[in-house]
Amino acid sequence: MSAGQRLLSFFLFQLILVLLVLDHTNVQGLKLGYYHKTCPNAESIIWKETYKVISRAPTLAAPLLRLHFHDCFVRGCDGSVLLNSTKTNQAEKDAVPNLSLRGYNVIDAIKSAVEEACPGVVSCADIVALVARDAVSMIHGPHWEVPLGRRDGRVSLLNEVIAELPGPFNNFTTLKRLFAAKGLNVKDLAVLSGGHTIGTSHCIGVSNRLYNFTGKGDTDPSLDPNYIAKLKQKCKPGDTTTLVEMDPGSFKTFDEDYYTLVTKRRGLFVSDAALLDDPETKAYVFLQATTHGSTFGKDFGESMVKMGKARVLTGKQGEIRKHCAFVN
C-alpha cells in the first residue's frame, strides 16, 4: 500500500470514528422534540394537565419545581425521588429532607394521562422536568425549552439524599461542592437559588437562626434583626408545623424579589445568606436586585437546562416506568 493510500485509509478510519461518536451522542443524549414521532402530543398533554392543577392551586408550582431539584441532585434526573420504599429498601422520598415534598399525586395523574395516549413511551423523569418548567411559566416565570429523552432509574436510596442534596443549613463551601458534583457552577448556584422566590418553608428550616444559631441560644448575626423579630412572631421555639413564606409578599409569583430580600439580609435560610459570602454570587444577587431581574428569567432557564442534564440515564439505560412510584 502506497503512502497516499495509507493516508487515505487513516482519514477514512478517523471519519468513521467521528460518525460513530456522533451517532452515539445522538442516541444517548437528550434532545428537543424527543417524542415527536413516538408520542407527538406528549408535551401538550403534560402542559394541559399541569394547567388544570396550577390554575386551581398556583401555590403547587413551588413544590413541583422543588420535586425536580430534589430528583436531579440525588443520583441525577432519573425519577428516583418518585419511587416508594419497599420492605427491603428505604427510598429517597422517606429521607428527612424529602418528607415535606408534595406533588407526587400530580405527577401520577399526568403520567396516567400520558400513558393513556402513549403506553410505555414517556419517562417519569421527563414528566417531572416538563411539569417544573410548565408550572413556573404559569405563574409569570420564564419559559425554556426542555431537552428530553431521560430514562427512569431503578434505584432509590435514602442515605444518598443527605450526602448529595443541598440543604437550607449549608454554607457556601458545601453548596459550591454539591453543585459542582452535578456539573453546575457558582453562577448556577446563584441563579437556581432564585427558585426561592416562590413557595413556603416550615419554621424548622429557620428556627436555628432565630433561637440557637451557635448552640448558645443566640440568633444569626447575618439575619436582619427586624426580620428576626417578625419571624419570631410566626415561629415559636420548637414549632415544626407553621409555614413561612420564602419571599414574603410575592411568594406565589415567580419574580426577582428574592434577590432584593437577600441584599437586605432577609433571605430565609443560611443557604440564602451564603450567596453574600462569595464575590461572584454576591455580584449576581446585587445585579438582579438593582436591575429588576434583567437577566434572571433567561439565566434561570439556562441553569434549569444544565441541571436537567445531571447524570441522566438515556438510550437503553434504566427503563420507562408504567407507574412512577414503582419499578416495572
Cell of 158: 435514602
Question: Residue 17 corresponds to which amino acid?
Answer: L
Cell of 143: 419559559
DSSP assignment, residue 76?
S
Helices and strands of the chain, counted as H and E runs: 14, 2
Quick one: residue 284, left, alpha or beta (phi over 0 = left, psi -120 to 50 = alpha)? alpha
What count of other Cβ atoms lies within 10 Å of the Cβ of residue 158? 17
Contact in structure between 147 and 59 (CB atoms under 8 Å): no
From the candidates 24, 36, 68, 70, which is the catalytic residue? 70
DSSP assignment, residue 84?
P
Cell of 261: 430580600
d(CA 275, CA 312): 28
d(CA 99, CA 151): 24
Cell of 208: 436555628
Cell of 315: 438510550
Examine the residue annotation and report whether 70 is marked as an active-site residue of this protein.
Answer: yes
Find the DSSP H helices in the chain: 3-28, 42-56, 61-72, 104-117, 124-137, 158-164, 172-180, 186-193, 207-211, 225-234, 257-263, 270-273, 279-290, 296-307
Coil, helix or strand at residue 307? helix
Coil, helix or strand at residue 207? helix
Active site residues: 70
